[in-house]
Structure formats: C-alpha cells, structure tokens
Amino acid sequence: MSEQAGDDHLPNDVPAVQNALVEWYEADHRDYPWRQTDDPYEILVSEVMSQQTQLDRVVAAWEDFLEQWPTVADLAAADRGDVVGFWTDHSLGYNNRAKYLHEAAGQVVEDHDGQWPRDPDGLSELMGVGPYTANAVASFAFNNGNAVVDTNVKRVLYRAFDVPDDDSAFEETAQRLMPEGRSEVWNNAIMELGGVACEKTPDCDGAQCPWREWCSAYQSGDFTAPDVPTQPTFEGSRRQMRGRVISVLNEYDELALDELGPRVRVDYAPEGEYGREWLRGLLSDLDDDGLVTLTDGVATLSRT
C-alpha cells in the first residue's frame, strides 16, 4: 500500500478515500429517524438508547419516548420513576442510563437556561454523557465534533488500512481521515460502513464497499479484526433482575422483601441462594444509583 509521510496507515490520495465514502453514504443508507434531525435532545436520547440496544429496536422506543417527553424541558420536569419505568418496560439496558438522561435534561434546563453546549467538552459536563456520546451529539446536532471511534470504526480502520489494535492509533487515523468541518456526515458514514459492509462477517461486494480498492483485507482476503467483547447473557443476569425490581416497584410502589422477592424470581426462597441476602444485594446496588430505598425491610421506588 502506498503511504503518505506522517500518515503511516493511509493511502496517498486521502481526498479520494473521503469522497468515496461520503458519496456511498449519501447515495443509500439506513434511514433512522434520528438521522433526520439536528435537535441535540433527540440525538442524545437516541445515543443513550443505542448503547445497549440494536438500532432497529431503538426506533420504536425512541419514538415512544419523544411522544411522552417531546422536549428537554418536558423530560426535566418528569417524574424520574416514570422515566426509569419506561426504560425497563422497553428493555433498554441499565436503568441508571435513564436516571442520568433525566439528570442531564435538568442540567440543560437549570444550568444552561435550556441552551445546549455545542462542543464535546461542554456536552461531557452533562450527567452520564461520556466522551463518545458527547462527540456524537456535537457531530450530529452541531456538525462540531471530532472523528467518532467506536467498535465498528476500529474494525474498518484495522482491516482497510492496517491500523494496529491501539486506541491512540485508531483515534489519530480516524481524525486524519475526517474531512474538516464535516463531522456530521463523516461520522454517520464511517459508522454505516462498519454496520452494513464491514461487520464481523464482511459483505464487501454485496454492500458495494467504497473502499475496496484501498482495503488491505479485501486485497489479501484476511478479514481478522480486533476482538470484540461479548455481551453478557441477559436472561437470568443481575442486570435483568435489577430491571425486574424497578418494574415491580413501579407497579406496587413499595413492598416488603418477601413480597418483592417472588415477583422478581419465581425461585425466590427467603433463606435460599436467591433469597433475602441476594435481594438485599440487588437493592443495595439500586440504592447506590438513587433508584430504590430500603428502610426497615421495605423497598420503595425513589421518585425524587
């Protein structure tokens, strides 16, 4: 592969690589509704929901969420228990993400007079908004982000340009590739490439990958990629049980341990493996997250 001085992993003609990807994306891409808005609130909701849920499943939840709380002010004014209950009912993963989203909405309304920070650094100051999410919102709402580097992007760069499995190398190469001032379209495009053409099992020709002429993996037939951590099994997991506790308390408001336990696990036995000690551990975790309180053996959903 021909190389440009200072960019050990890129071909000489970087503009051609950039144009090929943007043209491919603009010609045809998955039409998710959050790609049709530049509202930072709507984009943040989609980003938080997408952290543990497949995008196709996020669509209905995202639409339902925005129907119930259409603006950041509506969410800030909402009962946190209702927001957490929504999260659980839609199987959107860790419930503390709902709590943090609710608190971030409050920050925007109370600390910023309803005006959103417009860059990654400012957005990172919102509760629960890490560097990746802050950069995504800055990119897609304000076209003011850096190059996104997620698992899909790492896989693309590793295969296409022999970028070593090193975070700093991925970040440097991704930033060098992104056309200046075009973070919105570029970050969408490169994530789309990793999501439809360069998945774990690639579909180079079927998806008409625009980088085939430069791609080392396509030329060599070696499609190895960095290891991707496997998602822990959800069924029977502690995460699922935490969600059930929230769901039950959202319905009953408060319950004694031995009333709550059988509603969380059918095999609950007060002195057994999944008994009071196990349930207290779950409730302790939820108490640490500010979602549940346990007083005198009675669990209560926190609604403040």
DSSP 153-182: HHHHHHHHH---S-HHHHHHHHHHHSPTT-
Residues with catalytic function: 47
pLDDT digits (tens, 9 = 90+) for 199-256: 988 899 899 999 999 999 888 888 888 853 444 555 667 778 888 898 888 888 789 9
HEC sequence for 55-80: HHHHHHHHHHHHHHCCCHHHHHHCCH
The alpha carbon dihedral of 184, 190, 191, 197 has a sign of positive
pLDDT digits (tens, 9 = 90+) for 129-183: 999 999 999 999 999 999 999 989 999 999 999 999 999 999 999 999 999 999 9
Model pTM greater than 0.85?
A: no
